[in-house]
């Protein structure tokens, strides 16, 4: 299998408008897989369900398909962790948007997922309509972050001197862009707020992420936030309610 090394931060062409959003799931809870697949299949013009890998060992077969646009990844699997899955998918489907979809809320797990390439952190707990909304937002490249995770990001220590040196290389414009995306939640709205063309904003996001060695926009924002280079929006990020399908943890 060919491994591509481009980053999810790289500005990419939009998904063709006439193609549904391809969605894949990695979750060992069969009722979640059944619920999600039924919901997606009832909306064939909007979504296409690519399948579920219930174990880490099954992810390879999933990756041999056409790349998904959005992948929901549970943290706890019978034979591995969600962070292992995130790294695998990021290597093989670098343009996919990866969302940790979990019942866990421990800060070390959330930060592990961000470092592994997660584009969003969302907890299980509410309904199908919100899941579908989040899938569409992830496909657009929105920042998916709930208020609790935001608070944790602000207190997590840095990894070391090399990270601090990388943060010093951010330009004032790159810091403004990172803060705007965190506050607005979407690149389109962030661009409108700071009066910048969306394509230009995405270029600044990509450059900032490259300088920081970040695997995703979310990790770049996390690093800048913890360093005090950008401010958290008052009241938490927009539309920050957690999502999910019930009480199962994962």
Q: What is the pLDDT of residues 219-234, one digit of tens each?
A: 888 888 877 788 877 6
Which CATH superfamily hosts domain 1-11+20-250?
A: Response regulator (3.40.50.2300)
Residue 247 has pLDDT above 60, yes or no: no
The Cα–Cα gap between 203 and 229 comes to 19
The Cα–Cα gap between 188 and 209 comes to 18
Rounded (5°) CA angle 5-9-11: 100
Kindly indicate the confidence band of residue 122, based on its pLDDT and cuts at 50, 70 and 90.
confident
Residue 158 has pLDDT above 70, yes or no: no
Residue ranges covered by each domain of the chain: 1-11+20-250
Provide the mean pLDDT of the chain.
Answer: 80
What tokens does 249 get? 């943890």
CB-based contact 50:22 (threshold 8 Å): yes
The helix or strand, by DSSP H or E, that contains position 144, with its residue range, turns out to be strand 144-145
DSSP tag of 58: G
pLDDT digits (tens, 9 = 90+) for 29-70: 999 999 999 999 999 899 999 999 999 999 999 999 999 999
Residue 192 has pLDDT above 60, yes or no: yes
Averaged pLDDT for residues 175-180: 91
């Amino acid at each position: 299998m060919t491994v591509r090394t481009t980053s999810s931060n790289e500005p990419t062409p939009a998904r063709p408008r006439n193609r549904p959003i391809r969605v894949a799931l990695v979750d060992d809870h069969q009722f979640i897989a059944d619920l999600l697949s039924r919901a997606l299949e009832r909306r064939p013009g909007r979504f296409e369900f690519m399948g579920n890998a219930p174990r880490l060992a099954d992810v390879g077969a999933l990756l041999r398909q056409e790349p998904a646009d959005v992948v929901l990844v549970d943290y706890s699997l019978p034979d591995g962790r969600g962070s292992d899955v995130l790294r695998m998918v990021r290597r093989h489907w670098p343009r996919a948007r990866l969302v940790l979809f979990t019942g866990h809320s421990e800060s070390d797990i959330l930060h592990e997922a961000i470092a592994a390439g997660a584009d969003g952190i969302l907890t299980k707990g509410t309904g199908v309509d919100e899941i579908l909304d989040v899938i569409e937002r992830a496909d657009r490249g929105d920042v998916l972050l709930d208020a609790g995770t935001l608070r944790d990001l602000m207190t997590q220590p840095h990894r070391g001197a090399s990270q601090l040196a990388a943060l010093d290389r951010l330009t004032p414009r790159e810091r403004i862009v990172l803060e705007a995306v965190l506050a607005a939640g979407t690149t389109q709205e962030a661009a409108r707020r700071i009066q910048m063309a969306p394509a230009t904003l995405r270029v600044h996001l990509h450059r900032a992420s490259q300088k920081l060695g970040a695997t995703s926009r979310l990790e770049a924002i996390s690093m800048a936030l913890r360093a005090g280079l950008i401010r958290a929006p008052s009241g938490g990020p927009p539309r920050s309610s957690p999502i999910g399908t019930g009480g199962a943890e994962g």
